[in-house]
Amino acid sequence: MACWLMKSEPDEFSIDDLVRTRTVPWFGVRNYLARNYMRDQMKVGDDVLFYHSSCPEPGIAGLAKVCSNAYPDETQFDRKSKYFDAKATRESPRWMLVDVELVRKTRLLSLAELRSIEALADLIILQRGNRLSITPVSPAHWKIINKLLKA
């Protein structure tokens, strides 16, 4: 099983929305590396850190699991969607997604707190210039973060 950090802007889809819906298609990803993670590497049962980004206090807000294999993101075909892609076709979709299922909402493990933990210094989300919405998380980092969330 792999571990992932997946960012969502709370005004688009928050952990509270996931609590309400229980599952969500992880739509709107328009970065090829993040798409490739979903398409080629994510598997049903993989662990997910649900991360609030682009908000007053960014951080890990919950735990989730990947609950589907990758399939085409329907927003790429919707001309009214901000995620529409004119080059995508149903025969050759450009953007894929996976469904994510809530495990539990957690306390907010803020970006500042993550930065303060020396053992997490090489966590991808903490690297200068990283803007990817989906990043892998090492088993060692997963273990440290889970311990912090249980404290």
Please give the Cα distance from 52 to 8 (Å, whole number). 5
Range of the domain at 48: 3-150
Segment 88-106, tens digit of pLDDT: 999 999 999 999 999 999 9
Segment 57-87, tens digit of pLDDT: 999 999 999 999 999 999 999 999 999 999 9
Length of the chain: 151
Helix (H) or strand (E) holding 35, with range, is helix 32-36
Please identify which residue in the block is written with the tokens 């928050």.
14
Q: Provide the pLDDT for residue 129.
A: 85
How many domains would you assign to the chain?
1
54: CATH: 3.10.590.10
Phi then psi for residue 37, to 5 deg, are -60, -45
Q: Provide the pLDDT for residue 1.
A: 83
Please give the Cα distance from 8 to 46 (Å, whole number). 18
Cβ distance 38 to 70 under 8 Å? yes
pLDDT over 70 (residue 151): no
What DSSP designation does 33 have?
Answer: H
* Residue 66: strand, helix, or coil: strand
Q: Which residues contact 21 (CB under 8 A, 6 or more apart)?
A: none
